[in-house]
């Protein structure tokens, strides 16, 4: 029996990374998962504990060096490690640049020294800013906040390493991934984590604006499938948008979850709609989303107790958490500061 091909997953104990680990193991890969456990949790990999094909390293990617044994013999590297919470990036831009840009550079150097066959980077659709929809890969880049900038600069580093060092690479700009194991950090963030904890507590859902804003939600197992397709394909040097191509309103999510609503102010710098044009990824990689939004939400609700330890947000605590966001990104405030 030939040995399993080796794949490295940075951020492997995180939300998307742990599902990537699942898919790779199921497809016959030996997996080395790396995570500093700041945003990830070992519990996300507990169901694979004891499998000889999985190795876990409690490491920060910024500590990786060329020649690191974790990358030795690896065929593919899937780079998910970094800080994913958006709102706190206004308060902590240095940490975001360090984790999302410098961390990517360290992973690139380790991958380059190991001679990996493909480096697949988890980029973000936030690089487009307030984009026209549906959004194609050639849309102008306009980051609105430090998280978006840091993820885009990480992407630029990936393609610079391809250009200068000939490291084969692809980048996938994720729109709105959701699913079980989604992050429940102490930061105010993704809508699912906020709403599920509120539902468990019998509290109203804090809907931003009027709830008509739409997001291109894609279930996390479909995300992992796309990343594997991008690695195994002969194509490289490509950027792919990744979503369901079928945006759903926040009001529709509320309808599926069931509960009362409290409306809170809309945040500046956030789009009314995110909508991936997925024509390129479907044509070139043969990838298609498999799970409907209704099916995905049902899977999450079936595991709702997983969010019992998540922070419980209300309008007052959200106002405190987003105060700097409003101060920095409201156009009038910016004009006063620089005028």
Output the pLDDT for position 183. Answer: 75
| Cβ atoms of residues 211 and 250 within 8 Å | yes
Catalytic member of 96, 147, 152, 188: 147
Output the pLDDT for position 333. Answer: 46
The answer to whether the peptide bond before residue 134 is cis (omega within 30 degrees of 0) is: yes
Q: Which CATH architecture group holds 6-184+217-246+275-291?
A: 3-Layer(aba) Sandwich (3.40)
Question: What confidence tens digit (pLDDT) does each residue in 139-160 have?
Answer: 999 999 999 999 999 999 999 9
Ranges of each domain in the chain: 6-184+217-246+275-291
Whose CA is closest to 275, among 121, 128, 144, 155?
128
Q: Is the pTM of this model over 0.85?
A: yes
Output the pLDDT for position 259. Answer: 94
Question: What confidence tens digit (pLDDT) does each residue in 287-323 have?
Answer: 999 999 999 999 999 999 999 989 999 999 999 999 9
Output the pLDDT for position 253. Answer: 97
**Which parts of the chain register pLDDT below 50?**
333-339
> Is 147 among the catalytic positions?
yes
Output the pLDDT for position 335. Answer: 47
**List of residues 6+ apart from 19 with CB closer than 8 A:** 179, 181, 220, 221, 223, 224
Within 146-260, residue ranges assigned H as helices are 146-165, 191-201, 220-232, 250-257
């Amino acid at each position: 029996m030939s040995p399993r091909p080796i794949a490295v997953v940075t951020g492997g104990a995180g939300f998307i990374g742990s599902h990537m680990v699942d898919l790779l193991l199921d497809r016959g890969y030996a997996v080395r998962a790396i995570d500093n456990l700041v945003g990830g949790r070992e519990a996300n990999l507990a169901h694979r504990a004891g499998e000889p094909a999985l190795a876990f390293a409690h490491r920060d990617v910024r500590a990786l060096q060329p020649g690191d044994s974790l990358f030795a013999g690896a065929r593919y590297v899937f780079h998910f490690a970094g800080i994913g919470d958006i709102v706190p990036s206004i308060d902590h831009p240095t940490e975001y640049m360090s984790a999302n840009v410098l961390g990517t550079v360290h992973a690139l150097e380790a991958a380059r020294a190991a001679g990996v066959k493909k480096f697949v980077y988890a980029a973000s659709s936030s690089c487009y800013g307030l984009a026209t929809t549906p959004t194609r890969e050639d849309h102008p880049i306009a980051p609105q906040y430090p998280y978006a900038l840091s993820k885009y600069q990480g992407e630029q580093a990936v393609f610079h390493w391809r250009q200068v060092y000939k490291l084969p690479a692809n980048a996938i700009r994720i729109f709105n991934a959701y699913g079980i194991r989604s992050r429940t950090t102490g930061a105010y963030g993704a809508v699912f984590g906020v709403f599920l904890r509120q539902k468990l507590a019998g509290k109203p859902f804090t809907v931003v604006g009027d709830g008509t804003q739409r997001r291109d939600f894609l279930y996390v197992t479909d995300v992992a499938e796309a990343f594997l397709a991008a690695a195994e394909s002969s194509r490289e040097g490509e950027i792919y948008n990744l979503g369901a191509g079928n945006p759903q309103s926040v009001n529709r999510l509320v309808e599926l979850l069931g509960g009362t609503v409290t409306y809170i102010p809309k945040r500046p710098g956030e789009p009314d709609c995110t909508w991936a044009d997925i024509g390129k990824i479907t044509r070139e990689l043969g990838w298609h989303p498999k799970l409907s939004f209704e099916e995905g939400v049902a899977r999450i609700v079936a595991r709702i107790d997983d969010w019992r330890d998540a922070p419980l947000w209300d309008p007052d605590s959200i106002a405190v958490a987003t105060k700097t966001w409003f101060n920095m990104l409201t156009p009038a405030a910016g004009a006063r500061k620089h005028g």
